[in-house]
Amino acid sequence: MNNNKLITKPHYPILDGLRGVAAIIVVTFHLTEPLGTGHLDIIVNHGYLAVDFFFLLSGFVIGYAYDDRWHKMTIGTFLKRRIERLQPMVILGMTLGAIGFYFTDSTIWPLIHIVPVWKMLLVMLIGYTILPVPLSLDIRGWQEMHPMNSVGWSLFFEYIANILYAVWIRKFSKLTLTVLVCVAGVALAHLAIINGDVSGGWTLNLEQVRVGITRTIYPFFAGLLLSRVAKPILVKNAFLWCSLLVAIVLYMPRIGGAGHLWMNGIYESVCIIIVFPLIVYLGAGGEVHTQTENKICKFLGEISYPLYLVHYPLVYFYVAWISNHKGVTIVQAWPYALAILIGAIILAYITLKWYDEPVRKWLRKKLG
């Protein structure tokens, strides 16, 4: 089947913009994370929940874009379109991580300089496939699925959700999908309350893979269900209010402290299970009323995915600098953090225009 015959539907501009807002907050989370001593005192404490928000947005958009196309589209066509969309930036992100790998030698990664080049290249090539590397290839020492670019773990689970949708779950009735989402929501709440949070999923072991699957299944398929049942209502200034809600949720300080981990687990459960779907529902029903607002949403939406994939290779340098200068405070670190944030946004836009869009256009022709 020729992909060019699949008519492109209009985007939800506000949802595009919200994806960009969340992506920027992820960068701020990763820039403040090394300044904390653990989960309890990170300044952008719930920034990692942006990944769960991404999963929900993805499920909603996939349902909206593809649910009514299966009578003229095969599973292979769907998967080719997802590869075309996701893989170019995966490859670039892993390449950037490999280029910077040996330059991030520091006290936190003391063995980087003795890693053979062949092993680093092998890890990079495996990363191109987005398949996780075993712990025997953990060449950075953080037990990451993707030592070249840590954020690759979420793309691995994104692919799993897409495959489950295409092969099986797209056929579910609304009732069956509702049951799945409810069961997944209970599993997510159990994980969050028992552990105190949902943070995790980036290590290739049984416990962390369970965390990753649990974090993926509920939001992705809740987004799918929302795309099937929601009848959006028009909300004034939806982009502004939804952006504020996203920021409040992700910048909220840790709740309950070390003595009451379950309280934070309840907070995160409510955010993922209730608040995130509400934000997407309101965003889908909103309209952009000015050319400026439309340009902002378009820009944020376009850079969101490239930003997510290119920022962490820069963060590795920042983490190495902090580890080599013990006792660095936020006052000392913020100029460097701001420079990385701005640099990552600029790099994301450059890679979007000079790499991602041209490569996707070329792949569309080849895979079509």
Query: Each residue of 146-183: pLDDT tens digit?
Result: 999 999 999 999 999 999 999 999 999 999 999 999 99
Spatial distance between the Cα atoms of 284 and 239, rounded to a whole number of angstroms: 10
CB under 8 Å to 211, separation ≥6 — which residues? Answer: 191, 198, 200, 201
| Confidence band for 1, pLDDT divided at 50, 70 and 90 | very low
pLDDT digits (tens, 9 = 90+) for 279-327: 999 999 999 989 999 999 999 999 999 999 999 999 999 999 999 998 8
pLDDT above 90 for 204: yes
Closest CA to 264 of 174, 364, 197: 197
Alpha helices in the chain (DSSP H): 13-32, 49-66, 75-100, 117-129, 152-167, 174-195, 206-229, 238-251, 261-270, 276-285, 291-323, 330-351, 357-367
Residue 29 has pLDDT above 80, yes or no: yes
Q: What is the pTM of this model?
A: 0.96
Measure the CA–CA gap between 224 and 219, rounded to whole angstroms: 9
> In the predicted model, what is the mean pLDDT of residues 11-31?
97
Alpha carbons 224 and 208: distance in angstroms, whole number: 24
How many alpha carbons lie under 13 Å from residue 301 in its C-beta half-sphere? 17
The predicted structure's pLDDT at residue 48: 97
Instruction: Please count the CA atoms within 13 angstroms of the CA of 47 that sit on its side-chain side.
Output: 20
Q: What is the pLDDT of residues 72-106, one digit of tens each?
A: 999 999 999 999 999 999 999 999 999 999 999 89
Residues 6+ apart with CB under 8 A from 19: 54, 57, 300, 301, 304, 305
How confident is the model over 33-76, as pLDDT tens digits?
A: 999 888 888 999 999 999 999 999 999 999 999 999 999 999 99
pLDDT for position 323 = 93
- Across the chain, mean pLDDT equals 95
CA atoms within 13 A on the CB side of 149: 33
In this prediction, residue 11 carries a pLDDT of 81
- How many domains, the chain? 1
Token pair for 99:
């280029």
Give the residue carrying structure tokens 């008519």: 7
Domain enclosing residue 238, as ranges = 3-367
